[in-house]
Every structure is written in structure tokens, then in C-alpha cells.
């Protein structure tokens, strides 16, 4: 079955780092653009980052640019989100999604992972 599974979340101090993974199964990840999203309580879902199928093009929200890095290893069917210099406002549940229309302002997607909690607090 088609599945995306996020992992790597946890509790970190401000300024710390986490590396999230989005592992795909049931399909060939290399055929798809993948996006990372996050949602905090009381807030709208935010697009965080997106990566092209080859990994040659990346997108970052202004709020994370310079701190987060998206990458992929298609041989491992996995997309990563390296998060550095974490801030309390980065606290959210992080999700990955399989995109159908590239990295756009109006993304279309068909599968999501279950999410992984990231908490930034001292």
C-alpha cells in the first residue's frame, strides 16, 4: 500500500537541531515532488519546504530559509528535512506529502504521512 511515514521529531532546546525523515513505501518516490508541512495548535497548516523529484530544485518558506535544508535519497525512498537553529515558533506537527503538481503556491497532493511532533523548548 502507498504510505509515507515521518520520523525524527522530538523535544529540543532553542538553537538545537533535528533531522526529520519521510520514508515512502508502495510507490517509487523518485517520480514525485515531496513537500514538508507543519501545523501548530490554533494555526493554519503551513508549507515549509518542497523538493523536486530529482532533488535539483528546492523551495523554502521565508520563516525557515537559511535554517532548514530539504534533501532526498531516492535510492532509499526517503526525503529529509534538516532543521537547524530551531526556534520555539518551529514547534508543530510536521507532515510530508506526495505532490502531484510540483512545488507551487497551490500544491495538490494525494498522500500524507501521520506526522511527527517537533517541540522546541527549554
Residue 9 CA to residue 37 CA, distance in Å, equals 13
**CA 90-83-72 angle, 5° bins:** 130
Phi and psi at residue 11, to the nearest 5°: -100, 125
Considering only CA atoms, give the Rg of the chain: 13
**Of 50, 48, 81, which Cα lies nearest the Cα of 62?**
48
Average pLDDT, integer, range 61-86: 98
Whether the pLDDT of residue 105 is over 90: the answer is no
Whether residue 74 is predicted with pLDDT greater than 90 in this model: the reply is yes
Amino acid at each position: 500500500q502507498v504510505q509515507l511515514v515521518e520520523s525524527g521529531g522530538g523535544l529540543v532546546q532553542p538553537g538545537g537541531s533535528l533531522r526529520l525523515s519521510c520514508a515512502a513505501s508502495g510507490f517509487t518516490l523518485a517520480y514525485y515532488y515531496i513537500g514538508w508541512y507543519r501545523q501548530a495548535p490554533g494555526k493554519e497548516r503551513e508549507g515549509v519546504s518542497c523538493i523536486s523529484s530529482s532533488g535539483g530544485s528546492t523551495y523554502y518558506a521565508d520563516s525557515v530559509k537559511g535554517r532548514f535544508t530539504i534533501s532526498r535519497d531516492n535510492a532509499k525512498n526517503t526525503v529529509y528535512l534538516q532543521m537547524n537553529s530551531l526556534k520555539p515558533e518551529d514547534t508543530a506537527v510536521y507532515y510530508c506529502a506526495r505532490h502531484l503538481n510540483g512545488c507551487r503556491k497551490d500544491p495538490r497532493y494525494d498522500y500524507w504521512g501521520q506526522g511527527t511532533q517537533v517541540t522546541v523548548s527549554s
